[in-house]
Chain A
Amino acid sequence: MKRNKVEYIKGKYIDFEGGNLSTNEFFDYLIQQSRGANYSSKDPKVQEESIEGILEELRELIGLGGIKTLIDEILAYTEIQNKRKAIGLNADALVLHMVFKGNPGTGKTTVARLIGKIFKAKGVLSSGHMIEVERADLVGEYIGHTANKVRDQVKQALGGILFIDEAYSLARGGEKDFGKEAIDALVKSMEDHKDNLVLILAGYKEEMEDFLKINPGLKSRFPIHMDFEDYTIEELLEIAESMVAEREYTLSISAKAKLCHLLSQKRLRDGVHSGNARLVRNLIEAAIRRHAVRLKSKTDYTREDLMILIRDDFKEEDKSTS
């Protein structure tokens, strides 16, 4: 096929040079070719579908209202900047480094992963994968070690997202610590690769704010800040239901009440910070195990028995597994 096309164009050139084809006819042909090529190479339909799927996934996440609108804003912004660029207007360079603030189990990693996929589909990032690192992956043990470690991680993350969990721990460790060096190396590489790398710093709200206060240069380099609020008990129950449904189980009404009770008790005892989506997942996974043990001793069971989680399956977690 391709070969034929090349031959065909060659023929056109010969016609043209021989005076059998006018410039205008030649251009008509080229325009048609160029439009055709653009349609097939981009395949906008496939791209649109996949981005719809990912955005749907984002919308289905429970709670996170503020975050969803913020992501919509970022997407609109990138789209308009690209359009402005296309027609030759001044466009800001897209800097999309972010800070995620919130307690454990409030969806930071999940959202970061989705953002990677969305940016890939929108063409902001080339591959959209996510590399998750923590202090130990970045900070070296001897002089000169740190910069290399950081560079390696950045290299892996190029075209995607570098997600640094508990980023404030980089600034801990006193004066002789190499954490500072890691921060400097990160700042340098995020400037170097700003068009093909998104850096996300994540951690507890208070600690992250202190961390950014101590490093004022950092704050200005992260234009996007997202606050992940703690889930309310109702939202947690909704999350539980969707998790259970995903695994093709159901909750009995009394089981739901028990779950609610367990969650609020945990909150009462340990404060609002504890007991988020991760706790819910652990509770459900433990319940599914107990459900299996309970059914194993029975000889006959219905389809319903295999699906339903009852009150007794939910128990307070052991201290050791929290």
Chain B
Amino acid sequence: MESCILIGKPNVGKTSFFLSFASYLGVSKYQLLFKGLDGEVQRQSYGVELAKKYFVSSSPFKTKELCEIQLTIPIYKGTQQLKLLDTGGLTDGIHFDPQVRKSMALTIKSIENTKVLLHMMDASNVSGNQINSVSQIDDQINLLGRSKGKYCILANKMDLKDSQEGLQLLQKRYPTTYIIPVSAINRTGFKEVKMFVARNI
């Protein structure tokens, strides 16, 4: 089965997109597979509201484990099974918390084993200097993704007011990469993401 990974800086909305996209593809109950920091694997299922409450938060590094869900995506006339992976955020430099470092190592390991990369950025906060604004690590993920081939950027939080401007900045910064504007809350741009994934698996 092909897998597809969501990566990006902390707090750009990877997990809320992950949950929202899964329910867009018709999942009514999340059957999640967690791979913890010490290699333990857990299988759990959650309802839609509960999952949002548990996993999404406004503080960075909420997600530390790898979280995997199986989705069915329509391709041409048929359908295809697909694994979507949610990961912990990546930052520049060396992080002080060993737990977070472990989480990042886990993320990087799974990037190596995955073909399709969805790189998420926060379009409302492109030029800022916060933990979720675009920085060197994004440029590096971009380079890595482009050399791997099946790669696109998701510009998230398009529902916020600064995001149109941010999107233009992103297009300028990554002129050769396919950028899909999305909003995890309003579910805009999901169709394009679906098409992109379907084309690449």
Question: Which chain A residues border B101 with CB–CB below 8 Å?
Answer: 16-19
Is the CB–CB distance between A30 and B196 below 8 Å? no
- Tell me whether chain A's interface is mostly helix, strand or loop, or mixed: helix
| Residue ID in chain A nearest B144 by CB atoms | A31
With known contacts A22-B94, A23-B90, A23-B92, A88–B199 Cβ distance under 8 A: yes
Do B141 and A34 have beta carbons less than 8 Å apart?
A: no
B140 in contact with A87 (CB, 8 Å): no
Which residues of B in the span 119-155 have a Cβ within 8 Å of any Cβ on A? 136-137, 140-141, 143-144, 147-149, 152
Q: Give Cα A22–Cα B93 distance, bound, in whole angstroms.
A: 5
* CB–CB B112/A88 < 8 A: no
Which of A17, A28, A86, A88 meets B105, CB within 8 Å? A17
Residues from chain A with a CB closer than 8 A to the CB of B141 are 27
Q: Give the Cβ gap from A14 to chain B, nearest Cβ, in Å.
A: 9
Pair A88/B152 contact, Cβ less than 8 Å:
yes
Q: What is the chain A residue whose CB lies nearest that of B112?
A: A30
What is the interface size of chain B, counting residues whose CB is below 8 A from a CB of the partner? 32
B90 / chain A contacts, CB cutoff of 8 Å: 23
Total contacts A-B at CB 8 Å: 69
B176 at the A interface (CB under 8 A): yes
Cross-chain contact B98 with A24 (CB below 8 angstroms) = no
The answer to whether B94 touches A31, judged by C-beta atoms less than 8 angstroms apart, is no
B91 on the interface (CB 8 Å rule)?
A: yes
Q: Which residues of B contact A8 (CB under 8 A)?
A: none
CB of B108 closer than 8 Å to a CB of A: yes
Complex CA gap A168/B110 in Å reads: 54
- Expressed in whole angstroms, the minimum distance between the Cβ of A64 and any Cβ of chain B is 35
**Roughly how many angstroms separate A98 CA and B139 CA in the complex, as a whole number?**
45
Cβ of B148 and Cβ of A88 under 8 Å apart? no
A residues 25-67 in Cβ contact with B at 8 Å? 26-28, 30-31, 34-35, 38
Q: Is B109 an interface residue (CB 8 A)?
A: yes
Q: Tell me if A145 is interfacial: C-beta within 8 Å of chain B.
A: no
| Complex contact B147–A38 (CB within 8 A) | yes
Residues of B within 8 A of A85 (CB): 199
Task: Tell which of A13, A21, A23, A91 has the most Cβ of chain B within 10 Å.
Answer: A23
Docked complex Cα distance between A236 and B88 (Å) = 70
Specify which of A17, A26, A27, A28 is in contact with B98 (CB 8 Å cutoff). A17
Closest to B176 in A: A87
With A and B bound together, what is the CA distance between A93 and B95 in angstroms?
Answer: 46
Chain A residues with CB below 8 A from B115, complex form: none
A30 to B109, CA, bound (A): 10
Contacts of B112 in A (CB 8 A): 30
Contacts of A27 in B (CB 8 A): 108, 137, 140-141, 143-144
Asked if B102 is an interface residue, CB under 8 A from chain A, the answer is yes
Q: Distance in Å from the Cβ of B30 to the closest Cβ of chain A?
A: 28
Distance in angstroms from A188 CB to nearest chain B CB is 13
A30-B7 Cα distance, complex, nearest whole Å: 15
**Binary contact track A76-89/B, C-beta < 8 Å → 1, others 0:** 00000000011111
**What is the CB-to-nearest-CB distance from A242 to chain B, in angstroms, rounded to a whole number?**
43
Contacts A16-B101, A23-B91, A23-B94 supplied; 7 other A-B pairs, CB < 8 Å: A13-B105, A13-B108, A19-B101, A23-B95, A27-B141, A87-B176, A87-B178
A-B contact pairs, 11 of them (CB 8 A): A13-B108, A16-B104, A16-B105, A17-B105, A19-B98, A24-B92, A27-B141, A38-B148, A86-B149, A88-B152, A93-B76
Q: B residues near A, CB below 8 A?
A: 76, 90-96, 98, 101-102, 104-105, 108-109, 111-112, 136-137, 140-141, 143-144, 147-149, 152, 176-178, 196, 199
A residues in contact (CB < 8 Å) with B = 13, 16-24, 26-28, 30-31, 34-35, 38, 85-89, 91, 93
Query: Ordered nearest first, which 10 A-B pairs have the shortest CB separation?
Result: A88-B178, A27-B140, A34-B147, A22-B94, A22-B93, A31-B144, A35-B147, A31-B143, A17-B105, A17-B101
